[in-house]
C-alpha cells in the first residue's frame, strides 16, 4: 500500500511545472526525499528540497512577545502547527517513458512516498550496477551503471576528513568485484599518500571473516623504483621539466634523434650518460656547458634510465588494480613527470589500433596538484596529458577520475569534462561556489545541503543518475589502510615504541 505524505496546496509560486508545495498531513517528509503524485499527464516524480514548519499563532513576533507562555494555554496553538514541503518536479512517467514536466498538477492532488521501483527506473539504477551505498529515506541501493558513471569521467570532491578515501575504496571494491560477463576494466590509481596500498596486502588469517582479500587482484608499484626509458623521452617533456632556450632545444633534439636512430639500428637502449657523451660533440662550448646543466637537472630526478622499469603497462589488466604509490617521493617535480608519462602512455595505448591494454579508469588523488588552474606549465607537467584524457578519453575507453579536496584550485577545463560529480562534505565557501558553477543540477538549496553533510554522506550529480541524489556510502569490504589511524592511537604507538627502546637499552646495560 502506498504511503501518503500530503496534499498539494496553492502558493504564489505554484503549483507549476517547476515548483510544487504540499502540506504534510500524514507520515513525514524530509529534505532530499523522493515523492510522487498522480495527475492527468501521468505519475510525477518529485524531490523534496525543503521542509518548513509553520504555525499561524506564532507568525507575529510582537504577539508572541506580549502573550508569551500564556499563548498555548489560552489558544489551541498546537492544532494549527503544520508542515509545508517544497518540492521540485523531476519528470513524469507516461506511456511513452519518462518525459519532462511541462504541465502542473492541481491543488488538492495527493502526494505519496515515491515507489522504490520507480526511483530505480528514474535514476537509471541497475541490479548489476556498482553498489555505492543506499539512498537516504528509501530502501534503495544506489547501484549505478559503470558506463554512465565513468565513461565521461568522474570528479570526487570533499573536504579533508569527510570520508573521501573511504568512498574511493568502496568504488575500487566494486570495480574489482565485477565478473567478466559484466564488463571488467583496468583500474590505475595515482596514490600520493599510500592510502590504497592496503588492497595489495594479504588479509591476516584472524581477519579473513571480517575483510575481503583483494591482494591477488592488486599490484603495487613503489614510485621511487620507477624509471623512464630515455628513448621514450621527447623534447617537449624535457622542456616542461627544464626551461630550454631555442639553441638548447635544437641541439638536444638532434642528440636524441641520433641516439634513437642508433638504437633502432642495433646499438641498444641508451641513458643520460650517452646523452652527455654526445653533448661533447656540440661545437658551441657555451651551449654544450648549458646542456650539461640540463642533463644534471634530469639526473637529479633519479628517474631516467635505459628501459622502462617496471613495465607498468603490463600490469593494466581487466578487473585488476594497479596502485602507483608516490608516498615515498618528496620531489613534486618527479611526481609530476611520473604522472605525465604514465597518463600519456595509457592514453596512447588505448588510442593506438593495437589497443594493448583494456579500457581503464585512471584515479588521480590530489588532482589539484597535478591539474592546477592558472599555474605555469613548468609547475604542472602532468596537466597537458590529463587534460587530453578528459577531452578525448571517452572515445577510446580511457576514463579519468579526479579526486580533490580543493576544487577551487582544480583546472576548470578538466572539471567541466567530468559529467558526473560525487560530492561529500565541503565547507569552504569558495570551493562550494566553484562546485555550484561547474556542476549542472546543483542549485542554491543543494549547495547549502553539501556543507551540512555528515561523514560518509554524499550527493551524486550528473550523467550517472537522473537527478541529484543524496546517499549514505555503504560499508567497505576491504581492510582499512594503515594510514587510517587516530591521533590518540599514533601517540600511544609512539609511547610504546619509546618504552620498548628504553627496555632494550637497559637490558643491554
- Which tens digit of pLDDT belongs to each residue from 372-424? 988 877 778 899 999 999 999 999 999 999 999 998 899 888 988 999 999 99
Average pLDDT of the residues in 146-159: 95
DSSP summary character for residue 27 = S
- The lowest-confidence range among 180-184, 284-288, 401-405, 433-437 is 433-437
DSSP β-ladder status, 20-24 and 81-94: antiparallel
* Whole-number pLDDT of residue 468: 87
For residues 338 and 225, the answer to whether their CB atoms sit within 8 Å is: no
Nearest 5°: the CA angle 303, 305, 309 is 80
Reported as a single tens digit per residue, the pLDDT across 194-224 is: 999 999 999 888 887 889 999 999 999 999 9
pLDDT range class, residue 438, cuts 50, 70, 90: confident
Reported as a single tens digit per residue, the pLDDT across 12-33 is: 887 999 999 999 987 789 988 9
- β-sheet bridge partners, residue 130: 144
* Whole-number pLDDT of residue 151: 94
- β-sheet bridge partners, residue 111: 6, 37
Quick one: fold of 130-226+310-487? Answer: Rossmann fold (3.40.50)
pLDDT range class, residue 75, cuts 50, 70, 90: low
The reported pTM is 0.89
Nearest partner of 467 among 94, 43, 125, judged by Cα: 125
Crossing angle of helices 285-300 and 272-279, rounded to 10°? 170
pLDDT range class, residue 78, cuts 50, 70, 90: low
Kindly report the number of other CB atoms within 10 A of residue 251's CB atom.
23
- β-sheet bridge partners, residue 506: none
Q: What percent of the chain clears pLDDT 70, i.e. is strictly above it? A: 94
Mean of per-residue pLDDT scores for the chain: 89
- Three-state SS letters, 379-398: HCCCHHHHHHHHHHHHHCCE
* Whole-number pLDDT of residue 476: 94
CA separation for the pair 21, 87 (Å, rounded): 6
DSSP β-ladder status, 81-94 and 42-55: antiparallel
- Delimit the domains of the chain by residue range: 4-121, 130-226+310-487, 228-305
For residues 405 and 363, the answer to whether their CB atoms sit within 8 Å is: no
Mention every residue, 6+ apart, whose C-beta is less than 8 A from residue 145: 124, 125, 126, 129, 130, 464
Amino acid at each position: 500500500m502506498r504511503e501518503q505524505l500530503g496534499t498539494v496546496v496553492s502558493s504564489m509560486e505554484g503549483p507549476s511545472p517547476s515548483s510544487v508545495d504540499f502540506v504534510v498531513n500524514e507520515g513525514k517528509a524530509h529534505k532530499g526525499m523522493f515523492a510522487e503524485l498522480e495527475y492527468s499527464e501521468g505519475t510525477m516524480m518529485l524531490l523534496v528540497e525543503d521542509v518548513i514548519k509553520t504555525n499561524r499563532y506564532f507568525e507575529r513576533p510582537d504577539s508572541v512577545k506580549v502573550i508569551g507562555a500564556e499563548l498555548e494555554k489560552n489558544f489551541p496553538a498546537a492544532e494549527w502547527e503544520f508542515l509545508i514541503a517544497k518540492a521540485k518536479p523531476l519528470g513524469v512517467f507516461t506511456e511513452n517513458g519518462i518525459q519532462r514536466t511541462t504541465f502542473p498538477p492541481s491543488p488538492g492532488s495527493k502526494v505519496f512516498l515515491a515507489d522504490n521501483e520507480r526511483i530505480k527506473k528514474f535514476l537509471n539504477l541497475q541490479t548489476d550496477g556498482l553498489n555505492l551505498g543506499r539512498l537516504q529515506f528509501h530502501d534503495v541501493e544506489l547501484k549505478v551503471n559503470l558506463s554512465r558513471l565513468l565513461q565521461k569521467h568522474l570528479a570526487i570532491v570533499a573536504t579533508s576528513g569527510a570520508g573521501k578515501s573511504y568512498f574511493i575504496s568502496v568504488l575500487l571494491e566494486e570495480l574489482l568485484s565485477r565478473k567478466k560477463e559484466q564488463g571488467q576494466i583496468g583500474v590505475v590509481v595515482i596514490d600520493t599518500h599510500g592510502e590504497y596500498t592496503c588492497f595489495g596486502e594479504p588479509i591476516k588469517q584472524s581477519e579473513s571473516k571480517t575483510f575481503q582479500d583483494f591482494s591477488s587482484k592488486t599490484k603495487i608499484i613503489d614510485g621511487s623504483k620507477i624509471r623512464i626509458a630515455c628513448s621514450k623521452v621527447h623534447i617537449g617533456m624535457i622542456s616542461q621539466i627544464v626551461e630550454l632556450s631555442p639553441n638548447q632545444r635544437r641541439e638536444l633534439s638532434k642528440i636524441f634523434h641520433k641516439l634513437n636512430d642508433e638504437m633502432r639500428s642495433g646499438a641498444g637502449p641508451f641513458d643520460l650518460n650517452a646523452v652527455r657523451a654526445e653533448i661533447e660533440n656540440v661545437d658551441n662550448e657555451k651551449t654544450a656547458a648549458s646542456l650539461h646543466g640540463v642533463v644534471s637537472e634530469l639526473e637529479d630526478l633519479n628517474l631516467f634510465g635505459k628501459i622502462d622499469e617496471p613495465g607498468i603497462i603490463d600490469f593494466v589488466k581487466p578487473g585488476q588494480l594497479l596502485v602507483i604509490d608516490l608516498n615515498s617521493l618528496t620531489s613534486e617535480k618527479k611526481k609530476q613527470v611520473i604522472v605525465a608519462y604514465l597518463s600519456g602512455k595509457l592514453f596512447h595505448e588505448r588510442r593506438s589500433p593495437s589497443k594493448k591494454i583494456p579500457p581503464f579508469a585512471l584515479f588521480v588523488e590530489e588532482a589539484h596538484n597535478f591539474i592546477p588552474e592558472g599555474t605555469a606549465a613548468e609547475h604542472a607537467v602532468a596537466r597537458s596529458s590529463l587534460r587530453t584524457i578528459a577531452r578525448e578519453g571517452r572515445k577510446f575507453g580511457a576514463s579519468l577520475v579526479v579526486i580533490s579536496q580543493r576544487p577551487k584550485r582544480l583546472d576548470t577545463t578538466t572539471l567541466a569534462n567530468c559529467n558526473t560529480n560525487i560530492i561529500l562534505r565541503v565547507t569552504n565557501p569558495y570551493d562550494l561556489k566553484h562546485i555550484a558553477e561547474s556542476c549542472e543540477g546543483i542549485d542554491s538549496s543543494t549547495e547549502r545541503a553539501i556543507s551540512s553533510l555528515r561523514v560518509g554522506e554524499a550527493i551524486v550529480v550528473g550523467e550517472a543518475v537522473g537527478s541529484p541524489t543524496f546517499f549514505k556510502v555503504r560499508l567497505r569490504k576491504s581492510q582499512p589502510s594503515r594510514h587510517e589511524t587516530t591521533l590518540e592511537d599514533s601517540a600511544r604507538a609512539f609511547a610504546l615504541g619509546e618504552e620498548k627502546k628504553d627496555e632494550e637499552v637497559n637490558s643491554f646495560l
